Amino acid sequence: MLHGVDVSAYNTSYSAEGLDFVFVKATEGRSYINPHQNTQAAKARKAGCVVGFYHFLWPGNIAAQARYFVEKCASVHGDILACDWERTGEGTCASDAQKDQFLHAVKNLRPTHRVLLYCNRDFWLNHDTTSYAADGLWIADYVTAGHPRIKAKWRIHQYTDRPLDKDVADFSSKAALKKWAHPA
């Protein structure tokens, strides 16, 4: 298992040393851009990590959100892109169809990037009806690292949020993750 973290604007002092990958929150809806994403990604790149960016999906305006994400995130070729599908601070969430639409739109806008779905176990088991996760599932389930309580194939498992979001990836080596992240 490979080890990584995912960070947002609140995690400006995280350390990437010893990690294999780092995901950075880039955008949310159609109005928020993480002001620290460039610095956070640069720290991860300097440490030799595979880098990913994620967008916190809101209901509505899905095509516009996909464009906003790919235009505003600081990704370069070989970075992984992800959709964060969960409840908003207002308690709403994008529908299953909107989640699928967003993933397809990002894949169409950035065909040379791998695209993942991030969601928690409850969303995967009780809200998802299509099992569509683009190039892979990033599942949050706060149990033993590498053992999320789902039957579906997963790529990344977020297993805790203390002291920050920690993840493991189901790849044999960092080289295997890098190769997977850089599709031809």
What is the model's pTM? 0.97
Domain boundary assignment for the chain:
2-181
Q: What is the pLDDT of residue 66?
A: 98
Query: Which residues of the chain register pLDDT less than 50?
Result: none
Dump pLDDT digits (tens) for 72-126: 999 999 999 999 999 998 899 999 999 999 999 999 999 999 999 999 999 999 9
Establish whether the linkage from the previous residue to 183 is cis, with ω within 30° of 0: no
Q: Outline where DSSP puts E strands in 38-134.
A: 50-56, 80-84, 115-120
Q: What is the pLDDT of residue 184?
A: 65
Class of domain 2-181: alpha beta
Using DSSP bridges, classify how beta strands 21-28 and 50-56 pair: parallel, antiparallel or unpaired: parallel
Residue 32's contacts (CB-CB under 8 Å, 6 or more residues apart) are 56
Give the count of beta carbons closer than 10 Å to the beta carbon of residue 138: 24
Residue 84 to residue 99: CA distance in whole angstroms: 9
Using DSSP bridges, classify how beta strands 2-7 and 21-28 pair: parallel, antiparallel or unpaired: parallel
Backbone angles phi, psi at 19, to 5 degrees: -95, 160
Please report how the helices 62-72 and 96-109 are oriented relative to each other, as an axis angle in degrees rounded to 10: 40
Q: Which DSSP symbol is given to 50? A: E
